[in-house]
Structures are given as C-alpha cells and as structure tokens.
Amino acid sequence: MRIAVLNEDRCKPNSQAYEYLQKYAGMCDSGECIQVKDGKCKILETACPPCLMRAKQCPGDAVKIINLPTELESDMMHRYSLNGFRLFRLPTLSKESVIGILGPNGMGKSTAFNILNGSIIPNLGDFEQTEGSWNELIEILPRGELRDFLIDASKAKIKIALKPQYIDNIPQAFKGKVGKLLSSVDERNVYSEMIEKFDLGHLLERELEQLSGGELQRVAICATLLKEADAYFFDEPSSYLDIYERMRIVRIIQELAETSRVIVIEHDLAVLDVVADLTHIVYGKEGAYGVFTPARSTRLAINAYLDGYLVEQNIRIRDKPIKFLEHPPRTGWDGFELVQWPKLSKTLGDFKLEADPGEILSGQVLGVVGGNATGKTTFVKMLAGNLKPDEGEIEAEITVSYKPQYIEVHENVIVGDLLRSVEGFDEHALETELNRPLKLEHLMERELQTLSGGELQRVAVAECLLREADLYLLDEPSAYLDANQRMVTAKTIRKYIEQRGKSALVVDHDVYFIDYVSDGLLCFGGTAGKEGKAEGPYNMREGMNLFLEKVDVTFRRDKNTHRPRINKPGSRLDREQKSKKEFYYSD
C-alpha cells in the first residue's frame, strides 16, 4: 500500500513547495497525477512512477511518499483527506488497569482520543463521506473490551475526562482563582480530599495565571479527577513536575484505576514504567500516519522502544538502539578547573538559596536534580551572570551560553535567521551535528511563533549549543519533547560537549535524561518556595544516593537494557537497596 501525504501548511500559494508542484502539475500522460487548482495541491496515490518521484523531491519536506504493508489497509481507522493523515488501529481501554501509550508526537494519539471519546466518528479511510459510521467500525472489530467500549461510546453512554497536554492554555480558557475552578468541576464530591492529596490548599486563592508550570499541572490533574467519568485520559501528566510530585501522581492514578478505565500518554519512561500495567507503542511518520501496536507489558514495550525494533511487526522504528550504562560513568573527572564558586547565597522575596562551594571541570557534564522551587534556576542564572549573589562571588573569565527554562518567543523571527545570528555560528556544526538529530531542516523557514512546544525546545537547544562558549547551561531541555526526542537530544548534547572539550550544566526532572547525559550531579534540597540548598558536585553514585534517599525511591537496572527502573515501594529489592544505601546503582 502506497500513501502520499501532503503538508498543506508548507504548500500554500507562493511557497517553494507550491511553485514546485505547480511546475510539474499535468506534465504526465494522464495529466492528473499532480494537481494544483484554486490554490490547493493534490497528489494521487495511483500516480505514475515519474510523478511520484517528482512529488518525493518536493522542497521543504512538504510531500511524503510512503510504502506500507498491505495488511494495514484493513486496519485503517480514520483518514482526514486524500493526502491527509491516516490512523491505523486503536488503543484498548481495560478495566482495573492503567494503559500507557508510548510513541513520538504527531502519530495520531489525539485522533485516537477523539475517536474513543466519541467526538470523531471514524471513517475507516473513506474521507469523502460526510460522516463516518459507528456500525461499520464495530462490525469489523473482534469481540472484546475495545468493541464493547466503542458500542457504548456510539450510544453516548461513555463519559470521558481528559487532562490536556498543553496546560499553558488553561489560564486563557478559564479566568479566575484556583478554588473557583476546582469547585466548579467537582462532580464526585471529593473536593476536600483531592485538595489535600495534591497539596493545593495554599493555592486556592491564587489566580490561575499566577501559577508556575508545576502548580498548574497539579491543578489540571486534580480538576480531571474531580469529574465523574467512565474513563480518564491523562496526556503528559508529569510535565513540569519534580520527581516527588511525579511519584505522588503515580500513586493517585493507580488508585483511580481500581474503579475506572485509565489511559496515560507519558514521555518520562521511568514514570510510564511504574504507572502503566500495559502499554501500546505507536509508530509511524510525524504528520503522515500512525499505527497502534497491540498492548504488551510496559517493561517489554519500553525495552522494544529503546531497542528500536518491534519483533512482532518486523518494523524498525530507530536506526540505532538507545543504550544505558550499567555502572556509573568513569569520565568527566580528569579535566582542569573551568569555574569554581565559594559559598553562595541569594534571597529573592521570601525565598533564600544557599550553595556549598564547588567547581565544574573542563569536558564535564553535570546534571542538576532536586525538587521544584528549591533554587535550581536561580543557581543557573547566577552562574550565567544574569543574577548577582548576595554572598560570595563567582570569579571566572569564561563565556556562558544559557538556554532558559521558559523560552521567550519573538514574532516574525525566522528559525534559520535566529540560528545563524548566534555569536560564533558554525554552519558545519549545524549541518553535520544538530540538523538531523534535532530535526531542524524543515523548521528553518518557519517563524518562531508558529512552532509547537517540542519544535521550539529543539530550536532553543540548537541555539544554545551553536553559541561559542566555555560553559553551556541548559534549563529543562527535555520539556515538551517526546520520549524518543528526549533520548536523542540528551545524546546530542553529550556528544556535542565531549567533542569540543567544553562543559555543561543540565537541569532536568527526567531521570533517564539526566542518567544519559551526566558525569556527575549537583543536588538541590530544601523547602519549596522558602529555602533551597545546593550540594555537590558529586559523582553519579554518590549524587543519586543523596538525592533519592530524600525522595525515598530506589531504582534497579533492567537486565536487558540497563535502563533505570523504579522499584515498587516496600518490595524486596526496595528494602535491600535501602538497607545498603544504594538507591540507584544496585550492583
């Protein structure tokens, strides 16, 4: 089965792609393979080989010609248009189980959600019919939980509560205080219980627009749980949350699954591993097609995803497997001193940060871990020279490149112009080291305000790395990235820094990301919003033990991939590792 997918945003009149397709429209014998009419482009999937080759060469990655296994044709759930996105198969909701979904962005997860909640009636590939048919879909599905669920959905007997992916939009949709929002959606009469579970009491009189990302995430999840529903969908519930809060959300979602159906889309693999019982991998081409594979145990799903090869489907979804170190890294501790700091302190309003003396060595990548609102970003800003300490002075004649946590977007700025304007720009480095892994090529002609959160994050990471500097400071570079992009970005940062003998400080809450990118750790503790304490740097073993003992979480290593896995609280391994004070490397 051959599909031709056309990105309409890149094929608008006066664009390079539009002019290219207009040039070749009607050139073949049939004259219909490539069509441009009334400002719209079309490509027939029955097009002759020369026209398919011409379409494939369309500039701006605007057209994708893809060959798919013939057997998928009967599994098509929905198709948006002649050259639009196609979704194959659907995830299955199971009673008393948390179902995970693992895969890149742009693979149809939102379309699947909309089918399951009844807002899209699937057309089974017949995009020309004005409205799909539930009966046609139900007839082709085998008997089972998915079929039963969709029968109820077709009769409007199913109510679904959704925690959206982009929580940043909530303050625009709802104006007012936190307490007012939560009380207005309390259909289960569990308001007081949920406020206590999520530790939101001190935020009830706060305006939504005044909340931090982590606070807004907790409010969004709480609002979802207050609703009465048959099924609950959580789209990236761990974003903005520190590991303390992530473990709390895991426990709450697992409790919910005892009485309701639950689906979780999660890009933090450590969280997905512990929260989901079964997981669907979804693969495909971004914006072109997506295929949901049958659910498998979450451990096997994550291992297959990291390996990049799906045995049952005989599909390779990644060129190379992602591998983790079984033992702590032994590199990064033999360079010369790049920057050192004495005891530091900084007071901002009611918050005070204190930092022990420390240093960063040349060629070293230090991860920064700790709870939200304990001063990680404040410390990074002091190192970057954007904030002056009240006590102590950082004396170092080094240049710093800083990627902030919250990325400022200027309108009418072209991505390519932005990257080429950085000080010390290296075209060769962009083309050979950053373009492909960060998927920048098709973004180069786009304006910043048109980018998604993940696209903007990749551009910001590239901008930071391209700037000539001695020390690179990256604050939450994994935010908005899917699981695959996170690992690729971590690998890209690590490789880029190593090859140049530079140093980096990376702040992030994703344990896999920190594990993959770091030689050692800076650990932050304290009371959120009141006081913070920075300790280190430590080697990975010592740092992880110090950090995770405070969180009261232990990790083991998967025997096949060596990836870190959270132990079940109170399990034999959990008790053994705590008794040995080995919270991360259990060998």
360-404 confidence digits (pLDDT tens): 998 899 999 998 889 998 998 898 888 999 999 887 778 889 998
Residue 397 lies inside a defined structural domain of this protein: yes
> CA-to-CA distance for 463 and 401, rounded, in angstroms?
9
Which residue range(s) make up the domain with 45? 2-67
345 and 466 in a common domain = yes
HSE toward the beta carbon, residue 467, CA cutoff 13 A: 19
395 and 262 in a common domain = no
463 and 390 in a common domain = yes
377 and 492 in a common domain = yes
Sign of the dihedral through C-alpha 474, 478, 481, 487: positive
447 and 348 in a common domain = yes
Q: How many residues does the chain have?
A: 587
HSE toward the beta carbon, residue 11, CA cutoff 13 A: 26
Q: Which two tokens stand for residue 441?
A: 């090529």
135 and 44 in a common domain = no
**Last-in-domain residue among 33, 67, 101:** 67
What is the pLDDT, as a whole number, of residue 467? 96
Query: What's the whole-number average pLDDT of the chain?
Result: 90
105 and 61 in a common domain = no
- Distance set, CA 572 to CA 240, 249, 251, 555 (Å): 31, 23, 19, 12
15 CB contacts (<8 Å, ≥6 apart)?
A: 60, 62
Residue 422 lies inside a defined structural domain of this protein: yes
411 and 366 in a common domain = yes
Residue 555's DSSP bridge partners are 566
Residue closest to 167 by CA, chosen among 203, 215, 130: 215
Quote the radius of gyration of the chain (alpha carbons, Å): 25
422 and 344 in a common domain = yes
Residue 122 lies inside a defined structural domain of this protein: yes
Q: For the chain, how long is the longest CA-to-CA vector?
A: 78
Work out the percent of the chain whose per-residue pLDDT is above 90.
Answer: 59
- Distance set, CA 88 to CA 108, 125, 288, 373 (Å): 9, 9, 11, 42
pLDDT at 416 over 90: yes
> CA-to-CA distance for 356 and 537, rounded, in angstroms?
9
139 and 247 in a common domain = yes
Q: Which two tokens stand for residue 227?
A: 């609703």
Question: Mean pLDDT over residues 102-126, rounded?
Answer: 89
Q: Is 283 helix (H, G, I), strand (E, B) or coil?
A: strand
Confidence band of 330 (pLDDT split at 50, 70, 90): low
**Beta strand spans in 425-495 (E):** 471-475
What is the pLDDT, as a whole number, of residue 265? 93
Q: Which two tokens stand for residue 74?
A: 């009967």
Question: Mean pLDDT over residues 533-556, rounded?
Answer: 92
Q: Name which of 136-140, 342-346, 473-477 the model is least confident about.
A: 136-140
Residue reference for tokens 């090859």: 499
- The phi and psi torsions of 436 (rounded to 5 degrees) equal -75, -50
> CA-to-CA distance for 502 and 471, rounded, in angstroms?
6
Residue 504 lies inside a defined structural domain of this protein: yes
118 and 254 in a common domain = yes
Stated as kind and residue range, the H or E segment containing 275 is helix 269-275
CATH of residue 57's domain is: 3.30.70
> CA-to-CA distance for 358 and 344, rounded, in angstroms?
10
CATH of residue 415's domain is: 3.40.50.300
353 and 256 in a common domain = no
Q: Which amino acid is at 270?
A: A
41-60 confidence digits (pLDDT tens) = 999 988 999 999 999 999 88
What is the pLDDT, as a whole number, of residue 381? 87
Give the angle 84-90-95 at the CA atoms, nearest 5°: 155
Residue 292 lies inside a defined structural domain of this protein: yes
Residue 92 lies inside a defined structural domain of this protein: yes
> CA-to-CA distance for 385 and 399, rounded, in angstroms?
10
Query: Is 504 buried (19+), middle (13-18) or exposed (0-12) by CB count in 10 A?
Result: buried
**Number of independent structural domains in the chain:** 4
**Last-in-domain residue among 67, 101, 121:** 67
Residue 256 lies inside a defined structural domain of this protein: yes
Residue closest to 439 by CA, chosen among 426, 420, 452, 425: 452
Confidence band of 439 (pLDDT split at 50, 70, 90): very high
Residue reference for tokens 């870190």: 564
What is the pLDDT, as a whole number, of residue 42? 93
> CA-to-CA distance for 586 and 50, rounded, in angstroms?
59
What is the pLDDT, as a whole number, of residue 396? 74
Residue 179 lies inside a defined structural domain of this protein: no
What is the pLDDT, as a whole number, of residue 397? 78
Q: Which amino acid is at 115?
A: I
> CA-to-CA distance for 118 and 115, rounded, in angstroms?
5
> CA-to-CA distance for 121 and 132, rounded, in angstroms?
5
pLDDT at 332 over 80: no
With beta carbons less than 8 A apart as the criterion, state whether 265 and 101 touch: yes
278-327 confidence digits (pLDDT tens) = 999 999 998 899 999 999 999 999 999 999 999 988 889 888 888 877 66
Q: Please give the model's pTM, rounded to 2 decimal places.
A: 0.88
Residue reference for tokens 């889309």: 265
